[in-house]
Structure 1
Amino acid sequence: MDLQDQLKNLFPDHQPTEEEEIVKSNDKIWMQEDPILCKYEKRKGKPVTILEGYTGADEDFKKLAKELKTKLSVGGSFKNDAIIIQGDYRDQIMKILKEKGFKVKRVGG
């Protein structure tokens, strides 16, 4: 049971206002026609997965980076318009992005 369900149980007569609905609609990430490039590199002997090619706003790409890191339970960063994920998670990342509706292209290997 999430927080919204608990609030509905406590306040069954409450009707959400327009401001609450606007906040919910802002959680969406801009979709693009071009594929996001998913590639694998080794940096200082350690594997990393790099996502590049997103043409939307940086804030949306940062939200996507945070969501990927939490779903995979790994570290990573957002630098120079690229998401850098620690480890080789190309298959899992591509699956998650395809479920969200993105086009993904695997580069190298």
Structure 2
Amino acid sequence: APADALAQQAKPMVNIVLEKKGRAGKQATIITELLADDDALKQLASELKQHCGTGGSARGGEILLQGDCRDKALQWLRERGFKARII
């Protein structure tokens, strides 16, 4: 799977952050430190959004998921070989 291949070339630690500011009071889960080209990042974001059952986007080396999906994202990334942590 594309996620497994990306895990092999990812940085040592992927960060998962919950952001509340600048979003009209809405929460967003942001996954940073992903080293991937745009196509691979979009594919990874698509799989993550489907797993979490939410919307989101991928750009600038980050994946943004709508709402608080930290725990689901952490579990999903670790199952695919990423080293991840919640900040």
TM superposition score category, shorter chain reference: 0.7 to 0.9
Q: Identity across aligned pairs (percent)?
A: 35
User: Which amino acid is the alignment partner of residue 73 of structure 1?
Assistant: G
Q: Which of 1 and 2 has greater Rg?
A: 1
Partner of residue 100, structure 1:
80
Q: How many pairs were matched up? A: 81
Which secondary structure state, in structure 1, belongs to the residue aligned with residue 64 of structure 2? strand
Partner of residue 6, structure 2:
30
Structure 1 unaligned runs (5+)? 1-26
For residues 102 and 55 of structure 1, the distance between their equivalents in structure 2, rounded to whole angstroms, comes to 11
Equivalent residue for 1:44, pick from 24, 43, 67: 24
Written as runs of structure 1 = structure 2, the 5 A alignment for 1:70-109 is 70-107=50-87
Q: Looking at both structures, which has the greater relative contact order when contacts are Cα pairs under 8 Å and sequence separation is at least 6?
A: 2
Which secondary structure state, in structure 2, belongs to the residue aligned with residue 93 of structure 1? helix
Q: Write the deviation string for residues 58-96 of structure 1: whole angstroms up to 9, x where unpaired.
A: 222211100011112111011222111000010010000
Task: Supply the RMSD in Å over aligned alpha carbons.
Answer: 1.3
TM normalised by structure 2 equals 0.83
User: Which amino acid is the alignment partner of residue 14 of structure 2?
Assistant: I
* 1:57 Cα deviation after fit: 2.3
